Structure 1
């Protein structure tokens, strides 16, 4: 069976003994030539979903990817695993591109990564017509939707693919798409009865924390100094912020540099390469940095300012802990950040939706509820379970039973059936007869004024919580009207309670500093020193090969080596991430290092 061969490829090429829960289902659908929409968190293994079928099927698989760095990273990783992969984008000379196209037509390339701009050229279209195409994968598919947070016009032109290559299965993949964007991806790409695979958006290895922007400079320095050996990204709102923070960190002994679009491209690329090759530990950057970086050992992400939306925030924190090891996401927020971002939105034709998403981001930052729960509900993964491991779960705030208030609000939404704008629910509940309320005849329902004993401001806080907790949702495509969710049905009809945080808690107190998280390096190197020895060996071999260290082995793979201490080929191949090619190229050197370390320890004893 093909799926058995897929498992052999997973083990022999990529070094993993089993698929993650959703990966196998996606691969089976692709092998059956069915279109798919794949929603997986960053670090969830999306690439395996199209890379394994590509190696099983005849011909070439095309992967549309939006960023040069991402293509380069993934192609380097595939080549290290012995896979014939190439990429085409503007960073290559015309001669080099022609060589790659010739190799593709000659059947020498199994995976070809292509920029959306290249995909939309007439010359490449004729190249595709001459290829034996097995699969087309659209990575970062949220870029196709104008509702999405990272809209790219060239992605929107990709709708022609399904029409011109109807018999070729098309796989759209993303880690950051709310339900509206998910639906739009299917429409824009013209997917044919696609199977939708939704993995959990939860990243339990990332500790989530938010603090008011009070003495944030000192707080950031303290946070980083506690993690001196760890790689991290500090995201800033402006170019000036990146430069100021980098200088401040360097003056305090932190290995750091800044990165933003105003820099010379050569310098910018050097900073990026220094970071992914562990020559610098911290990059202070605008949000463009990291979008194509597969660096698996980023241990933390700090937002110096409030992000402009939850999708962007989720994508950015997802650049930490990609290896599954513990990571930390720290967010600072303040009124000034909000006002600056709202000012940017005023200049856009999409002002209303951009401001709505900014509001949701602020609600998330200020909330006293479980942060993981808020994120999951935002992406349509409805849950009432607390994670028990974010700052709000660790530092519980006073909650009260707000079930009756919630039921009143939900009843108003239900009675108005798609006619209630999100900004007017508070007025309806307080019985405030504004011109908008009266013109929309929103005062005619039975629950109008059912909460007149509560101020409009407090009702707005209640509505914000109900939105963040997933009891209500905004239908942006229908004019930003409110609608019920599966969670609200449980409250209205199944007697489930709604806990809200107190309305008089306007400002969230600064939490106590969290204890330092144990990571791959702290778990092993300080106890045995072996992890550090293996990391240095990895770095030496990576430098010799001209690739980032994590391309050879991730921190998680090194940690497993430390735990099991393999001493021969078969034991080493039992380590996750060690396939046949990696064993042949690097395995014996790591076995020798483990044996040397063990022998040295034995002599000491």
Structure 2
């Protein structure tokens, strides 16, 4: 029954009929008071995992979030859905914070977002002792680990929570953590026998592409001009790059702004607000931008320079396509970027791990292998399958059968049983007895010198490929020791083929990769007019509400409206993302816009249900009407229900048995927000959809 309540909340509040993969299991664990570590890709629905338990349980859920903008965005989205949510951070005055704390004590708040600094303060600790905390959710949990790519000392202090609030479950969530960081999160937060949930890191809706850094400005301009109606982010390495590129784009007619840490905070906020409210289409930014933005309709992300690690790169490209619709990630790379980033690492105590991650990023950019496969293996989601949808899969990579070479390298690692550092494997393969090799006893194994016919430089390239492809992994916490993976056995014992780059050829890149045309928000043909009208309506209503447009409805929800064209409350509530509150506040306006568009498309045409009325008045049965009009009989019943609601003299009660109406009325009274499909399920699939539709119209008229 508990998970059934969660499903009701999902539909009534958020407007979705079913959970995404993994969400239901996470929510069930949280409702059963279990600690959880949740790994889901950006846009995978992490927030729902703690928002639904917050609404299902008595008390308040405390959410730790690293950025003010992110808190504000999520709280606004919850309020639009009718949820009592607030945030506490340094952007609020003392008086504003006092009002929120007073409401917290009264039990008026279901979700409270706080910064890690606030969570670690003595004053807030005493507040938590005085209220009923049902769950603590720690978003962006990778920030707690010194192995992670975005370590923050204030997160490290959150380890006290489990000690002080033993009976309160903790949910740690992240979209970017390699296996080493995942383990460290659980240790640092002192989670008690945590349930670990790993969703796939794959984002199949994002097309991934990398190109050498040649004529970047011109290529970026062409890329954007081909997508003039779409929003996107260009990440740059330096503040100067952001300003220069934004100026160049504006001079060529692109509405853009720049964003970096050296700007006045008020100017930064203005650019961010202009972007999330669709007043500008493009932001050229340093990596300081984007983490606090939940904007679902970002259609592309460009990296003007090589990122410093794969975790950051993955997180940044994940800011596109959050609504599940097609998106594009374009990366430019060059050795000069690598040198600059490497120099930044020189002064760090974490120099070794930072350089290792930078190397992996460069290998990813230069690789001829499937990019999605490289990303998944990096995060420990071992796979040998190609995605078929990245630039390398679409191109013609120059590869050769390197199975024998791979078997030799894997055999050496297996024989040395977790003692061989990564940098020494090429020396072992070529039979080079250096002092380090001899001291480790690495020269006495059977495979020592087994690859002497290949140069040491080529063996370095082979080892890097084997690591990138997931056949080997590096245990950084043990001193960069090599270890086998689940894919290793497939090569050593199952005869799986390993394809490698040709070692003596420079990797070639096509000048441009043409992607198969897909239906996207900006490429509707006949439907583009309606989509634009709905988008303009969304924008005008968002301006009135003072919230970003995507918080009202995502592009994916608008696209579904265009495809299905709902013309009444029940049809609109069957659209993903339309819950009870959103229907009450915005639904009818969108229905009216759809009806107006349909009538204007052919001014001579009358609504299709009027044809049904004409035939009905001739005394014809629904079956005959369906045959005459050339439509499905279910459509005829829907037309009759609509006509009845509009006051036409149509006797729909004759088609509904009294016991059917009674049963449906009981279901609706218990679950007022149920959709037609949910009512159908509640009747154990015994009462057909068209009878439910007619019954809903009868009950609506009674009220």
Alignment of 1:288-367 (within 5 A): 288-367=288-367
> What TM-score results when the alignment is normalised by the length of structure 1?
0.99
Q: What's 2:115 paired with?
A: 115
Aligned-pair distance for 1:266? 0.1
The whole-number CA distance in structure 2 between the counterparts of 1:415 and 1:288 is: 45
Deviations 1:355-402 (CA, angstroms, capped at 9, x unpaired): 000000000000000000000000000000100000000002122111
Aligned-pair distance for 1:602? 2.3
8 Å CA contact 1:65, 1:140 repeated in 2: yes
Q: 1:305 to 1:528 in 2, by over 3 A?
A: closer
The whole-number CA distance in structure 1 between the counterparts of 2:528 and 2:79 is: 32
8 Å CA contact 2:368, 2:397 repeated in 1: yes
The whole-number CA distance in structure 2 between the counterparts of 1:257 and 1:398 is: 40
8 Å CA contact 1:40, 1:198 repeated in 2: yes
SS at match of 2:603: helix
The whole-number CA distance in structure 1 between the counterparts of 2:519 and 2:528 is: 14
Structure 1 gap segments, 5+ residues each = none
Q: What's 2:438 paired with?
A: 438
Q: What's 1:152 paired with?
A: 152
Q: What's 2:376 paired with?
A: 376
> What TM-score results when the alignment is normalised by the length of structure 2?
0.85
Q: What's 1:568 paired with?
A: 568
The whole-number CA distance in structure 2 between the counterparts of 1:178 and 1:517 is: 33
Specify the structure having the higher radius of gyration (Cα). Answer: 2
Q: Which moved more, 1:505-514 or 1:535-544?
A: 505-514
The whole-number CA distance in structure 2 between the counterparts of 1:56 and 1:278 is: 34
Q: Which moved more, 1:177-186 or 1:493-502?
A: 493-502
Alignment of 1:262-273 (within 5 A): 262-273=262-273
8 Å CA contact 1:305, 1:332 repeated in 2: yes
Aligned-pair distance for 1:418? 1.6
8 Å CA contact 2:230, 2:522 repeated in 1: no
The whole-number CA distance in structure 2 between the counterparts of 1:390 and 1:48 is: 29
Aligned-pair distance for 1:510? 3.7
Aligned-pair distance for 1:517? 5.2
Point out 4+ residue stretches in structure 1 off by more than 6 angstroms. none
Aligned-pair distance for 1:528? 4.2
Aligned-pair distance for 1:494? 1.5
Structure 2 gap segments, 5+ residues each = 606-703
1:581 aligns with 2:584: no
1:465 aligns with 2:451: no
Corresponding pairs, count: 605
Aligned-pair distance for 1:6? 0.6
Alignment of 1:403-482 (within 5 A): 403-482=403-482
The whole-number CA distance in structure 2 between the counterparts of 1:527 and 1:584 is: 26
8 Å CA contact 1:275, 1:281 repeated in 2: yes
Q: What's 1:130 paired with?
A: 130
Deviations 1:174-220 (CA, angstroms, capped at 9, x unpaired): 00000000000000000000010010000000000000111111111
1:553 aligns with 2:553: yes
Deviations 1:219-239 (CA, angstroms, capped at 9, x unpaired): 111111111110000000000
8 Å CA contact 1:116, 1:154 repeated in 2: yes
The whole-number CA distance in structure 2 between the counterparts of 1:198 and 1:216 is: 37
SS at match of 2:348: coil
Deviations 1:288-330 (CA, angstroms, capped at 9, x unpaired): 1000100000000000000000000000000000000000000
The whole-number CA distance in structure 2 between the counterparts of 1:65 and 1:601 is: 47
Q: What's 1:275 paired with?
A: 275
1:182 aligns with 2:185: no
Aligned-pair distance for 1:46? 0.3
Aligned-pair distance for 1:99? 1.1
8 Å CA contact 2:527, 2:562 repeated in 1: no
The whole-number CA distance in structure 1 between the counterparts of 2:129 and 2:445 is: 60
8 Å CA contact 1:230, 1:299 repeated in 2: yes
Aligned-pair distance for 1:521? 2.5
The whole-number CA distance in structure 2 between the counterparts of 1:164 and 1:396 is: 57
Q: What's 2:508 paired with?
A: 508
Q: Which moved more, 1:427-436 or 1:363-372?
A: 427-436
SS at match of 2:168: coil
Aligned-pair distance for 1:434? 2.3
8 Å CA contact 2:368, 2:507 repeated in 1: no
Q: What's 2:656 paired with?
A: none
Deviations 1:39-63 (CA, angstroms, capped at 9, x unpaired): 0000000000000000000000000
Q: Which moved more, 1:147-156 or 1:492-501?
A: 492-501
8 Å CA contact 1:35, 1:171 repeated in 2: yes
8 Å CA contact 1:136, 1:169 repeated in 2: yes
8 Å CA contact 2:13, 2:580 repeated in 1: yes
Q: What's 2:541 paired with?
A: 541
The whole-number CA distance in structure 1 between the counterparts of 2:242 and 2:284 is: 5
